[in-house]
Amino acid sequence: MSMPAIEVVLYTGAIGLSVIGLAGLLLHNNVFRMLLALVMLEAGVNLLLILAGFRLAGVAPIILPEQMHNLSAITMNDPVPQALVLTAIVIGVGVQALGLALIMRIKAQYGTLNMLKIREQLEFDLAVQAEVSTPVSAHSPGSLAQGRVRRHVSEAITQKDEQ
């Protein structure tokens, strides 16, 4: 099925944006970058959604009284995806703002933005809170954390990062 060149570009762009967003989420450890990647991912998907309702040479979906009898003759852009995307953008912004606020609190509490260290510290804190002295299975193979010892190391790394 052939497709107009412009649509190819648009679809490629939308999908590309999503992939970049996903890749960012996967490859970064910095929570702020992860949040930004999330923003890109959302943008990509929103674009994809808009494209789904987009017609080349389509007009705004407003039905005039004189067109009522002949609706199938006109090409309209589909309004539903646009409404959907509008909502998605609004909600997305809200969630991102919440995320940013949480990031600020995390930075204040943990002194780091590195996801690995946050996870490690979180696990440790939970274990301490539950009165199970060290994180459960801290010594299991494949884990990056080494419990209590690791905590001081990570603090040292954090300081280095900040310089």
Partner 1 sequence: MDNIVLLVVLPLLAAFLMPVLARFSEVVARVLGLSVLVFAIAIIINVWPQVNSQATSIAIGGFMPPIGISFYVDQVSILFALAIPVMVLLFWPWQRKTSIREYSLMMLLTASSSGLVLSGDLFNIYVFYELLAVASYSLIAVQGRAVSIAASFRYLLMGSVGSVMMLLGIAIIYTQTGTLNLAHLSLLAPLHLDNMAGLAAFALILVGMGVKAELFPVNNWVPEVYGSVSSNLAALMAGLLSKLAVIVVVRIMVLLFPQPEAMQLMAMLGILGVITGELVAWRARDFVRMLSFSSIGQLGLIFLAFSIPGDTGMMAGIALALHHMVVKPALFMLATGWSGSLENLSGVARRSPLTVLLFVLLILSLLGIPPLPGFWAKYLLMVGLAGQDSAVYTLGMIAVPLAMIVEIAYLFRLVMIMYRKEDTVKVKAHSKWGLAIAASAGAALIAIVLQLQPAGDKLTTLAQQLSDRNYYIMTVFPQFHTAETGMQSIK
Partner 2 sequence: MSVLDDLLLFTALASVAIIVVRRFASVSKLSVIVYALATVLLVKMSALGYGGEPIYSSFTLNVLGQNLYWRFDSLSWFFALITVVIALFTSVFMSGAWAEKYCQEHSTEAYGLLQAALVLNVLSMLVLLASGDLLSLFIGWELVSWASFMMMFLNQDKVARKAAIKYIVYAMAAAMSILMAIAMTYSMTGSLDYVQIMQAVAHLSNTQIALLVTLYGVGFGIKMGVIPFHLWQAAAYAETPGPGAVFMGAISARMGLYALIVIVVQIFSLTRVAAIEIPYTFLNMQNILAWVGALTTIIPTYIALKQNDARYLLAWHGVGQGGYMLLGVMIADSIGTAGGIMHVFNYATYQAALFMAVTAVMFRTGTSNFSKLGGLVTQMPLTFMVMVVSIIGLAGIPPMNGFVSKWLVYRALLLDGEPLLFVAAVIGTLGTILSVYKLVHNTFLGQLRLEHQDVKEAPLSMLLPMLGLVLIIFGTGVMPGVVLDWVAAAQNAVGIAPITHNLGGIELAQGGLDMIWVTGVMFYGFAVGAIVFYFLGGKSKHIHQFDNYAGGHFLTSKVRYHYSNHFYAGLMHLIGGWYKDFFKKLEQALVSLVSFLSQLSENFYRSAQPAVLVAAVAFIALWFIMSSFSMPADTGTVAPITQGIQGGLPK
Question: Strand, helix or coil at 121?
Answer: helix
153 binds, among partner 1, partner 2, none (CB under 5 to 8 A by kind): none
Candidate segments 32-40, 65-73, 142-150, 152-160, binder of partner 1 by CB under 8 A: 32-40
Q: Tokens 């280095």 — which residue?
A: 160
The residue type of 70 is N
Cα gap 44→12, rounded to integer Å? 10
**From CA 32, how far away is CA 30, in angstroms rounded?**
6
Nearest CB to partner 2, comparing residues 108 and 144:
144
Q: How far is the CB of 50 from partner 1 (least distance, A)?
A: 9
Identify whether the C-beta of residue 49 lies closer than 8 Å to the C-beta of residue 81. Answer: yes
Beta carbons of 75 and 58 less than 8 angstroms apart: yes
User: Interface with partner 1 includes 103 (CB under 8 A)?
Assistant: yes
C-beta of 99 vs 157, nearer to partner 1: 99
Residue 47 binds which of partner 1, partner 2, none (CB < 5-8 A, kind-dependent)? none
- Which of 68-76, 117-125, 142-150, 155-163 is the region at the interface with partner 1 (rule: CB under 8 A)? 117-125
